[in-house]
Structure 1
């Protein structure tokens, strides 16, 4: 019995020693700490997440909205439209024209009652009126308009100073910045919607002629001419267009940048028309595909394909194959950046052009030209001189190019359109627009009746000659 108890004691003692040795030498330390405080993740990627949960730092739209709604007006345009003629019209000899009401929005820009809106809002107006947010209605006078930028300026007379919106700097507006669209969609007055700036220098024409601010703030028919303001209540754009297959908002809206709109109305007020400064180049956004095709090194910016003769660009030394990268302090990554910035300038303004040439960065000072300096209007066509690079590339010795034409007769009968080259009129060689100017002085208003012979080159570089009598 004693032997059995001894064996049991020895076995127990051995187990204790073995367990103690394992705990002491083999098992890894596993310390457990209990913390009653709330766990905070240590891997938050940005401070934006903190902002999301901190409602005190959320964008404040209230002040901007309150300051803007009273300065945005409801514009009503009464025009005459030709409707289908009824039997009563036919037998009574009445005109089929009837008054038609169009509506849009406008923004008061000073206490004296000047209002900025879209050209398409007031187009063909027989009578204009605006209604304030307090329901007061005033007759409005059209001061001037510019179809290219789709901007118009109205004026109302009021007995008191009017609320207005101050201009902001649209060049400083950032992608992702909060903005408010204020206007009168579907005749719903004083409507405010919010969104962000989705893109800048956006063109929706397909011809690189526009430079819109794109937003995702809801804009619908009736918002045209209304305000796009930042959270400070500063005007950064004039709501102008949407892209939609249905005619209603689907997530994309576009505004004329405030810097362009401001320059247009200042020109209208000071000169009566818009003063357009011109850099004097032809080109486009430089892409890697174009670089590969032309076997040249790619660089982001605007590729100069041609320099207009007698333009500021030519005089400053800009050359074909240069890549424009900056204008003053504005980065140029696509052609819409360039055209949008130039539209804020006037003839004789000075612009610093940073460009890349053969891998080197150069900065040239360009004095912007007036379009009239190297174009001329002649028999409903806008003509310009041929550049030396164009003559060399296409082996054309002389002539003037058709930049734009509204001469329907020449187009329908001879096919003369943009890109055609006029080389001779009445056996007189046309070497420059100065020769065209001499013809205009010689024949005056009867110049069209005195053209007996016309020589030109079509787009296939085929020489043509037409005798009219």
Structure 2
């Protein structure tokens, strides 16, 4: 279906080019051949089929089932949306009851290391007593949680397999443009390995999930159960971690969101290294919308890094390190990227005077939402 409008556009362009090449002056009888319908152009800039890409990457995409012990609390939980209403709901209920477990979630992930390191979403695996990973060939392995980050909804799990596993690599999401082809893979509605294709609809989407929102918006159909799965560029590299959808029906309406690889990859590397993410903290309340560049400090936390550095209410923060600040969200991200205990140069405007203040970055409290 996607190739038809592409084909028609190319045909239109070919006809326009032919019209420009026609000789000027009145038409003659022997000119009629010039007006014959042009031969439709063959489009080569887009994929004629995604099959080679599917064969290349899908073996590294996994299905994830999450279970808890079937105590009274778990028994009262509804069937997860990734399974509810599908042909597998009854089977999952029977399977969990026979094991003394209760199914609480189903999602997707992808292998990034032949040793069995898998990336997924925190909301897929965060409440699990047990995590089971199914490969594309149906083989199942128990998995352990390596680390997770609630603020970005990124998690890393791992499995132990007797042989090296197929894996995929990161692409550079900074090179992804609106209108580029994208292919999403995962486990929608518990049906097993599936792929969908579409384009990148927008960049830099903020959906209010956290102060670190910077989603790629995708129109490739993403449904419950796709969470934690990858979106690929045409080179077979992962450029987004599928995370959320907007839907009044519970299914895909063509608005899905993926975390760009430029955000996911370094967080995954840190989770693999330490199992958690340490973020910097300034200890200020901020307000956007100042008439000039920068962000205004409206309040300062007592005993926080900003107070110790002698920042004041009313100061306008212009840059953090080398990062220009144009919104509260930009400042939060810039400070969060600094390692706690490091010193960052904060350039401010205080009344009519600009100055640079060195601030020793604090450790972002775990219970902070913004």
Give your verdict on TM over 0.5: yes
> Which has more radius of gyration?
1
Q: Secondary structure at the match of 2:266?
A: helix
Question: Pick from 194, 199, 218: which aligns with 2:221?
Answer: 218
Residue 157 of structure 1: how far off its partner (Å) = 0.9
2:128 aligned partner? 125
- In the other structure, the counterpart of 2:316 is 322
Conserved in 2, the CA contact under 8 Å of 1:78 and 1:100?
yes
CA change 1:108–1:312 in 2 (3 A) is farther
1:109 to 112, 115, 129: 112
Q: 1:238 aligns with which of 229, 233, 241?
A: 241
Q: Which of the numbers 47, 51, 58 marks the counterpart of 2:46? A: 58
Change in 2 beyond 3 A, CA 1:208/1:63: same
Please state how far the C-alpha of 1:354 moved relative to its aligned partner. 8.3
What residue in structure 1 maps to residue 74 of structure 2? 82
Deviation at 1:70, TM superposition (A): 1.3
Does the aligned pair in 2 maintain the 1:242–1:249 contact within 8 Å?
A: yes
Relative to structure 1, is the Cα distance of residues 315 and 123 closer, same or farther in structure 2, using a 3 angstrom cutoff?
Answer: same
Distance 1:225 1:105 in 2: 5
Cα distance in 2 for residues equivalent to 1:63 and 1:352: 49
Residue 166 of structure 2 corresponds to residue 186 of structure 1: no
- Give the counterpart of 1:151 among 150, 154, 157: 154
2-side partners of 1:323 and 1:53: how far apart? 55
Aligned length: 316
Q: In structure 1, the residue corresponding to 2:166 is in which secondary structure?
A: coil
Q: Which runs of 5+ in 1 are unaligned?
A: 1-29, 42-51, 86-96, 292-296, 383-402, 405-417, 419-469
Matching residue of 1:32: 26
* Residues 125 and 39 (structure 1), Cα distance of their counterparts in 2 relative to 1, 3 Å cut: same
- Pairwise CA RMSD: 4.2
Distance, in Å, in 2 between the alignment partners of 1:232 and 1:357 is 50
Q: 1:267 deviation in Å?
A: 2.3
Report if the CA contact (8 A) 1:263-1:345 is conserved: no
Counting only pairs closer than 5 Å after superposition, residues 23-422 of structure 1 correspond to structure 2 as 32-34=26-28, 35=31, 36-38=33-35, 54-59=42-47, 61-80=50-69, 81-83=73-75, 99-100=102-103, 102-205=105-208, 208=211, 210-278=213-281, 281-286=284-289, 291=290, 297=291, 304-306=297-299, 311=305, 315=309, 320=314, 322=316, 324=318, 334-336=327-329, 339=332, 346-347=339-340, 369-371=361-363
Q: Secondary structure at the match of 1:155?
A: strand
Q: How many angstroms does 1:37 deviate by? A: 2.4
TM-score relative to the length of structure 1: 0.56
Q: Which of the pair has the greater relative contact order for Cα pairs under 8 Å at 6+ separation?
A: 2
Q: 1:340 to 1:131 in 2, by over 3 A?
A: farther
> How far off its partner does 1:339 sit?
4.5
Give a deviation string over 1:253-280, Cα, whole Å, max 9, x none. Answer: 1222323322333222222321113355
Q: Distance in 1 between matches of 2:177 and 2:333?
A: 16
Tell me the alpha carbon deviations over residues 180-207 of structure 1, each in whole angstroms, 9 at most, x when there is no partner: 2111101232211122223333232376
Are the structure 2 counterparts of residues 352 and 123 from structure 1 closer, same or farther at C-alpha, using a change threshold of 3 Å?
Answer: same
Q: Measure the CA separation in 1 of the matches of 2:300 and 2:277.
A: 24
Task: Give the TM-score of the pair, scaled to structure 2.
Answer: 0.69
**Deviation at 1:307?**
6.0
Contact 2:75-2:102 within 8 A present in 1 as well? no
When residues 107 and 316 of structure 1 are mapped into structure 2, their CA distance, relative to the original with a 3 A threshold, is farther
Once the two structures are TM-superposed, the CA of residue 105 in structure 1 deviates from its matched residue by: 0.3
Give me the whole-angstrom Cα distance separating, in 1, the residues matched to 2:173 and 2:282. Answer: 21
Partner of 1:92: none
Question: Against the structure 1 CA distance between its residues 344 and 105, is the aligned structure 2 distance closer, same or farther, given a 3 Å change threshold?
Answer: farther
Residues 181 and 228, structure 1, Cα contact 8 Å, conserved in 2: yes
